Chain A
Amino acid sequence: AQKVTQAQTEISVVEKEDVTLDCVYETRDTTYYLFWYKQPPSGELVFLIRRNSFDEQNEISGRYSWNFQKSTSSFNFTITASQVVDSAVYFCALSEANFGNEKLTFGTGTRLTIIP
């Protein structure tokens, strides 16, 4: 069975600080996909990134970066120079790699509050 653990329930940081959101996953599949989604107060889920299990390169997109370490089954998300607009609930998720079976197993989410 697949499982995603986000141990940090809530994090608060002052604006402009860097913050890392942790994600640890469990799966018996050798091929899988990892995702991060942002859920702002308005409620919609915003796709941030997808990473497949064969691609362990870290990724940077503006102020966002992701560190995928297969050895520790972790896929952590860092926001650099945080802004108030980053305040949201962030979900890490895992899916099987079967085409046409993209159902997601979500972590419990981390509520991030950026203090102005």
Chain B
Amino acid sequence: SAVISQKPSRDICQRGTSLTIQCQVDSQVTMMFWYRQQPGQSLTLIATANQGSEATYESGFVIDKFPISRPNLTFSTLTVSNMSPEDSSIYLCSVSDGLNEKLFFGSGTQLSVL
């Protein structure tokens, strides 16, 4: 099984600032996924990140707001830009074992925007 480390685990940020969340996997994976879980809500996919290409964003999410980097097969970052209180959520990264057998999730980053 993949072990996923996410940093930071939580942060409190001021409106208008940006936060970069890191996701490190202990094995090489083709695709990494970023999800958002708003308070008391389900998980919503933000984007899919392939190594060496631009991320693919889901409807309602744009690159200017959530830029993603994927410099290699074990690492990705998600930036939440120009934050507002509505961005207060848990952000999770996810990877597949490659066979669609299991999808593993990081422990999440709990973001609060004041």
**Interface of A, helix, strand, loop or mixed by DSSP:** loop
| Contact of A82 with B by CB under 8 A | no
Q: Which residues of B contact A43 (CB under 8 A)?
A: 90, 107-108, 110
**Interface of B, helix, strand, loop or mixed by DSSP:** strand
Is B103 touching A109 in the complex (CB atoms < 8 A)?
no
Q: Which residues of A contact B42 (CB under 8 A)?
A: 91, 106-109
Given contacts A91-B42, A95-B100, A106-B42, contact A100 B33 (CB under 8 A): no
Given contacts A47-B103, A108-B41, contact A103 B48 (CB under 8 A): yes
Is B92 touching A45 in the complex (CB atoms < 8 A)?
yes
Q: Which of A12-51 contact B (CB under 8 A)?
A: 33, 35, 37, 42-45, 47, 50
Name which residue of chain B comes closest to A33, CB basis: B100
| Contact of B65 with A by CB under 8 A | no
Q: Which residues of B contact A101 (CB under 8 A)?
A: 31, 48
1/0 per residue, CB under 8 A from B, across A75-110: the answer is: 000000000000000010001010111111111110
Contact among A45, A50, A100 with B30 in the assembled complex (CB-CB below 8 Å): A100
Counting chain B CB atoms within 10 Å of each CB, the highest count among A33, A35, A43, A44 belongs to: A43
Q: Which residues of A contact B101 (CB under 8 A)?
A: 50
Q: When A and B form their complex, which 4 residue pairs have the shortest distance between CB atoms, in order from nearest?
A: A45-B105, A102-B96, A106-B42, A106-B43
Further contacts, 15 of them, CB under 8 A, given A45-B105, A102-B33: A43-B90, A45-B108, A47-B103, A47-B104, A99-B100, A100-B30, A100-B96, A102-B31, A103-B48, A104-B43, A104-B45, A104-B103, A105-B45, A106-B44, A108-B42
